[in-house]
Amino acid sequence: AHGRTTEEVAELIGADWLVYQDLEDLKEAVGGGKVKIDAFDCAVFDGQYVTGDVNEQYLDRIEQARNDAAKSTVERVSAIIDAISSIALGGAIASALLLVLFQLSVVVLRYTYGISFTWLNELVIYAFAAMFMLGAAATLRDDGHVRVDILRPRFGADGRNWIELAGIYFFLFPICIRLLTTGEQGLARAWSLFEGSSESDGLPFLYLFKTLVPAFAVLMLAQGVSEALKAALRLTGKLE
């Protein structure tokens, strides 16, 4: 009905005749009869509550409480994702320590005793991959990835947050989703066969190694959600 005349509204709804009843007529129509009614709560129409204690300040407090509750929920979700990334980071640190141990063993055995084991060389590769794949999400959380920032530093805080959101939605999410969708069949086949190394003396769990790719994508997707939530809270002034 907004912006239209009574005749236009009547034609739009297919009515022969249209009349609007004002609020006072409505009160009079429903307030008659044997039962005496002193007042109606017509706050939905005029914003006046019969309790007398509902005003703009009261409504503002309710809105603020709802905003705080929503903020608290968002922060909890972000904190849970950050905690999962921390657990994955622990795995990455353990992989880094194992990487040093495995690589040292390879060097000592090769140059001291002149022997080499395929399975040991593969352990070096597996440990390096796990270190990178499991630690990437926590690195994103801590803003530790290398940035090639040319224009971003010139923007204010809001501009940088918008750029952060754009990068997450237009680059991070699509790439991670692509990783998940393109490797699904190969991973399922690897697990169904319990695929091992192509070398006779290699490791028998190549399928676990291949699982690191979707694990990396899932961790990065989750951390991307967390970073997007933080950026949104900063844009609304609810997070420093």
Residue ranges in the chain whose pLDDT is less than 50: none
* Claim: this prediction has a pTM higher than 0.85: no
> How far is the C-alpha of 149 from the C-alpha of 142, rounded, in Å?
17
pLDDT at 150: 75
Other beta carbons less than 10 A from residue 204's beta carbon:
11
pLDDT at 126: 96
pLDDT at 23: 79
User: Residues 18-31: pLDDT tens digits?
Assistant: 888 787 777 777 77
Nearest to 88 by CA among 131, 41, 36: 131
Residues in the chain: 240
pLDDT at 5: 87
pLDDT at 67: 67
> How far is the C-alpha of 65 from the C-alpha of 175, rounded, in Å?
38
* Unique residue bearing structure tokens 């290699």: 202
